[in-house]
Structure 1
């Protein structure tokens, strides 16, 4: 008789009744709405109805669920974390859709925009009726956003924005883009309606990762927005980096969801697949793989829970988020790769979820801060010396 990794480590006891109910609700939506289609979406490189899916996610209450007011659910960081785990257990693209909507676009507006802009955008975004995206990364500036080339200049009482943003989740289906730009006053953020003249968003194709997700390039050519669209009280990288910390936190949990799905699949396969007259799970090397995968999965979940409890009680420092993002994504992708070896040739088929999760995690490994950047964040804190430059 097999034992699930969660049961083996007694992980269920870590969660409150409310957290388990949220996990069950998200898992049920994923099972009904996404899982029957996600392999086909991944193979086709598209989603059937991303805006309709966003509305369903809004009805479930997971969009900006850790924010207060404006139609947001006001749940805890840990409750948001378990939702991210279940979303990414289905597909990283699905968790990215929710993360960009809630932890990047909505959080940016909730934390930094004027009250007028909060009232304008957040209720619709929480309901999934309004879709947001987050424009920070550029074609030539990813890890070094301080040298972004997108600029905003004053023109009377308005602002004029020019520039390009790259690898923007939800970009070509968004109603509002949070855009960060250089100004004479430093880097500033703007809530830009995507129907503004001069704004264009083109879907990026030819991806081998996060294929069940909308990824776009934003082009701003003389886009005019009023003063009210500018975030009034933040200058420099403090604004965008605060949003990235929120999104990275969700990844800490989400990566373990992808790892869990791959581990479950490999465990089932190992007891069903026979070679040399018996299940391959009866061979020592396969058992070693399963044991090592389970250890890293359990440690990753324990780390996510610890960071969630810490965020709820005292708040998280950026370097603490880096610990979680660096460890959990790195271990999750290794779990998926090892699971693929247990499945052998079947491991590369979309009949099984393993290769899809492994490919998706190749993107998760480098977005919201590469391995190198998170390593240097930790190194700086450990030594007091800045090795970024």
Structure 2
């Protein structure tokens, strides 16, 4: 009798696992074809049936799964770990390949599904969240297994101009209690002509309010000059004060008005790839006042004055470890005016459109902490253009720089094709 009961229970568990195994590929197909209502309907039906079976059987998450594999679980775990090695740190193309491989494994059997999902859901590919259809099916996939929402750490959304789509994004984020990184961008074809309405920024504030654990924000929305401010300013303030890392691509003036006043000492990293529309005067001054422990700054300086940049670097010198600068419209030495204060700087990167002088190299020899120095400028002024023989001043300045940083320096890259004097460096 006991044997019959165990057999019945095993059969029920087997049926349940098979239902879930059938539901999963339907969901993946629905994500790949977000505009196919037929596929979406089948996926929703599969989820509904699976949920009802689970409730009727009162299956708990911690019950052992049906074992369909012949090899020890440890072997499959090793295979999955090998595929997922550095999964979230891979470049975009490699990450897509790994995600596709993991998705294929997850569809083969229940065991591999459970082993693969921590990677697939912790850092879901942005393509899965692309558009309303993809977001809808992603939420559906979360509903199949309650554990999936707990796995999610990073979400990368395209915020649509349609409000129903934005409310769906808010609902997805609300279900993810361990979310720590949020990336927001415009729909691809709307980026150049995006209209930011009051409802848009109010929904943005609502989204922030359901993400209390988010510490890293990527805001890639080109807020036009004069874009409205959220009515619920308190929600913005509560969210902003906890941020540690911010990456901007456009919308710098809106960020300065709405979020910058609420940043705190928690903030240690800012990347501004493009400033966008509007006035950014005093941006760096306010940043240094609000965030006195900054460790990392990556700045496109097209809306920044040399005075503001020098003032920020002097104020942040004791803590700043990474500094990347480009696109500063200024004729004259800048680095020499602040580098003496860069006591903690380890990685220094100057882009092709940042002025660089022999005088700057001399000033950089006064410190001895750099691990990496990269200059993409094809000219070190004065007078050291491409394919020209380096001046005596440049040769000696570089020799002193290398000597000063010899104990820490691992990488140096100068983009200019200068003919250096080997004798200076040998001596």
Q: Given the two structures, how large is their TM-score scaled by the length of structure 1? A: 0.21
Q: Which has the larger radius of gyration?
A: 2
Q: Given the two structures, how large is their TM-score scaled by the length of structure 2? A: 0.20
More helix by share: 1
